[in-house]
Amino acid sequence: RYSARTWELARRKSVSPHDSIGANLVVQVKNDRVMRVVPFENEAVNECWISDRDRFSYEGLNSEDRLAVPMVRGTDGQWKEVEWAEALDAVAAGLQSVKNSYGAGQIGALAAQYATTEEFSLLARLVRALGSDNIDFRLRQTDAGFDAARGGAPWLGMALADVGALDRVLVVGSFLRKDHPLLAQRLRQAAKAGTQVILVDVAADDPLMPVAERVTVAPAALPSVLAEIAVALAQAREAAVAPELAGVQPGEAARRIAALLASGENTAVLLGNLAAQHPQASTLAANAQLIALATGARLGFTTEGGNTVGGYLAEAVPLRGGKTAAQMFAEPLKAHIVVHAEPALDAADGVAALRALRAAQFNVALTSYRSAAEDWAHVMLPIAPFTETSGTFVNAEGRAQSFKGTVRPLGQTRPGWKVLRVLGNALELPGFDDETSESVRDAVLAGEIAPRLSNAIGAKPGVGGAVQGLQRVADVPLFSSDAIARRATALQSTPAADAPEARANAATVADLGLADGDRVRVTSSTGSIDLFLSVDDAVPAGAVRIAAAHVSTFALGGAFEQLSVERA
């Protein structure tokens, strides 16, 4: 407003990085500055909609925190601006030193889920050419056994356009409207037309749609709820119950859900972000698979980031015994290459992530934002956000969508794929001859994508483990999902971005001897914070809801921690 006229704006097509829908955008620019973002209509993907996060996060692209020049930390701990050649030489020397002294297995690579497919591919190529298999983009994943259990790249299991045709859909472990606003919109339209939506979740937020059945439990109980539904389905069909579930007795809610699912003809079971991040994600997925098989339903993962499927296709995950992100943080390495990620807020346990990074001998951050890395990196290389580079995102349905940069890179910023390619050359590694991002993309996505997508789960079903004490329910706030959104001033001025509170239902608050509005001290295994307590009956018994991905709650560490709460 008051900064440009509509007719002064150039209009360029792009793709949203903020969630797995891959909403098509029209980015409007003036003088190489993004001024406005509006939807580009694509009935198969986002119809005519974009979310508020898609529309207003462009402010983060123009943030004063943008890193525009390569920087190297001196021996005195002070940052200094350098030329690209000097910065790349410093990175090559740092990585080579660690490899020579400790072996390639002490080098790890981490990335955010909205890195492009090209960036994922070249990062994987780089770290493997160095001799390491430690690479992961799933910074919030906590189940070390999930890779062994999955049959391929997890995906939605159907086209987005098919969601509206479902007559029954079970959504498990999702803060639906926060995680996937446009998928929630599709489900809402379907529910209004008669689709029976069933929710198994950890917080009874208002979905703004008719819900046929709902079970809300503490996170540790999610596997047992699905186990009850699976057993209820087997009993209704007089079929054999899986041996691992032999002692499970389904409750009334599980029987109602089983009957509802069994009555459907076009059914889906969708696992949300929290389900994939759960410490027992393999068991959850195996139980969900039992339900899907018993009802003829399609099994799907909503997937977390703008390019989660692309990360799997580019093999930016451990393949031959390498460490996952959680393992790298638990067993610190000597060197890290970090692309786009802000580990303190993007990891499941930001405390462990920072501890590991600060203990390393050498870290290089390929980042768009200085504050994302300046307290743990040794070299910071400015790379382009999605509006300043060409690239490809693969959305939850397996649709590859390529885009071009909409504005020139800021200052000395360079596209991430180019920086990784030149870094490979600086290290004298083979296989870094690509001249265009398209050649990198084609090497990853050559042939059919569909055969590489699979939601088949090889893990055994189970009931999960019991947790004593208060469990944390940790949602990622709507406008804290990624580094760009976190720096958008307008989004951070909304009620959705208010500082987190400790939220618990009335019974839990009474058991603690506390009252609504009390100032409380919340303690986990990693630290303590003081928050205001709010009564919220959407939170299940035995749990306290405290948002993740926020500076004020960082000290609590893991998203699935046990907590103690007392009056401050």
pLDDT at position 304: 96
The overall average pLDDT reported for the chain is 97
Say yes or no to pLDDT of 466 above 80.
no
Say yes or no to pLDDT of 468 above 90.
no
The whole-angstrom separation of Cα 19 and Cα 29 is: 23
Say yes or no to pLDDT of 233 above 80.
yes
pLDDT at position 2: 86
pLDDT at position 396: 98
Q: What is the mean pLDDT of residues 41-55?
A: 97
Q: What is the pLDDT of residues 331-384, one digit of tens each?
A: 999 999 999 999 999 999 999 999 999 999 999 999 999 999 999 999 999 999
Say yes or no to pLDDT of 401 above 80.
yes
| pTM strictly above 0.75 | yes
Percent of the chain topping pLDDT 90:
98
Say yes or no to pLDDT of 316 above 90.
yes
Dihedral angle computed from the Cα positions of residues 259, 261, 266 and 267, in that order, rounded to the nearest 10 degrees: -170
Q: What is the pLDDT of residues 247-275, one digit of tens each?
A: 999 999 999 999 999 999 999 999 999 99
H-helix or E-strand containing 124? helix 117-130
Helices (H), 162-301: 176-179, 181-192, 222-236, 252-262, 273-277, 281-295
Q: For 516, how many CA atoms within 13 A lie in the half-sphere containing its CB?
A: 7
Of the candidates 543, 396, 549, the residue with the CA atom closest to the CA atom of residue 475: 549
Q: What is the pLDDT of residues 435-453, one digit of tens each?
A: 999 999 999 999 899 999 9
Say yes or no to pLDDT of 465 above 90.
no
The whole-angstrom separation of Cα 484 and Cα 494 is: 16
Q: What is the pLDDT of residues 502-547, one digit of tens each?
A: 999 999 999 999 999 999 999 999 999 999 999 999 999 999 999 9
Of the candidates 490, 377, 514, the residue with the CA atom closest to the CA atom of residue 36: 490
Q: What is the mean pLDDT of residues 67-95?
A: 97
Q: Is the dihedral of CA 143, 147, 153, 158 positive or negative?
A: negative
pLDDT at position 314: 98
Of the candidates 110, 191, 204, 116, the residue with the CA atom closest to the CA atom of residue 394: 116
CA distances 192 to 185, 199, 211, 261, 371, Å, are 11, 16, 10, 18, 44
